[in-house]
Amino acid sequence: MADDTLDRIRDVGAVFIDPWVAVDRSGEVVDFNPHFRALHNRQNARKLQGSPLSTYVHLDLPVDPVAQCLEEGKPVRYDEIQVTIEGEEAARPFIISAAPVGSGHVLLLLRDVSDAAAVQRKYKTMLDRETKEKERLQDEIGRKTKELVDTNMELNRTQKELMRFKKGLFG
């Protein structure tokens, strides 16, 4: 990557709180920020520079975002993509953004949305539970309403019967 492009990426990338990595056309890591390094264990972090990104970052995508953004010549974004970092057991959801920079290079931004996804799952569980409780209460209200209507009909029938009986007695 041309030094001036790399210097500009570093200047702009210094303010990013999300991990970023610059790769060349073949997908080899050219540069990255400390946040990207922190995603990896120490042993793998030492080997990142010059290695294929796909060796250490596994994206659950049907297409390669580097190839796609180079082919289209514009940025691409994927929301809540499962990403497995080499050395970790479980995948985590990330928002992946890739933008072409310079000639044949791509800057990838990785935003870990694990916490937001966990909150969304929690709220969805709570919402599902509340929806079920609402349906249960609506059913209960329906049953109680039917009981009241039936009781009211029985009361009306009993009152009519009393009136007939009263007329028969006092005539």
Q: What is the C-alpha separation between 67 and 71, in angstroms, rounded?
A: 6
What is the helix (H) or strand (E) element at residue 96, kind and residue range?
A: strand 92-101
Residues 87 and 118 in one domain: no
- pTM, 2 dp: 0.65
Q: Are 18 and 111 in contact (CB under 8 A)?
A: yes
Give residue 105's domain range. 3-112
Q: Which of 87, 112, 137 is the last residue of a domain?
A: 112
pLDDT value of residue 8: 77
Looking at residue 25, its pLDDT comes to 87
Note the pLDDT of residue 52.
92
Residue 36 has pLDDT above 70, yes or no: yes
User: Which of 112, 144, 161 is at the close of a domain?
Assistant: 112
First-to-last alpha carbon distance for the chain, in angstroms, is 112
Same-domain check for residues 91 and 25: yes
Q: Give residue-wise pLDDT tens across range 101-129.
A: 877 889 999 998 877 666 777 888 898 89
- Pair 87, 155 in one domain: no
Are 102 and 135 contained in the same domain? no
Q: Which of 31-35, 54-58, 73-77, 116-120 has the lowest mean pLDDT?
A: 116-120
Q: Quick check: 94 and 112 in contact, CB under 8 A? A: yes
Inter-CA distances, 112 with 52, 145, 150, Å: 21, 51, 58
- Whole-number average pLDDT of the chain: 87
145, 73: one domain: no
- Number of domains within the chain: 2
Q: Is the same domain home to 124 and 95? A: no
In this predicted structure, the answer to whether residue 1 has a pLDDT above a threshold of 70 is no
The predicted structure's pLDDT at residue 3: 65
Q: Which residues pair with 37 in a beta bridge?
A: none
User: What pLDDT does 102 receive?
Assistant: 76
Instruction: Say whether both 98 and 160 belong to one domain.
Output: no
Q: Are residues 108 and 130 in the same domain?
A: no
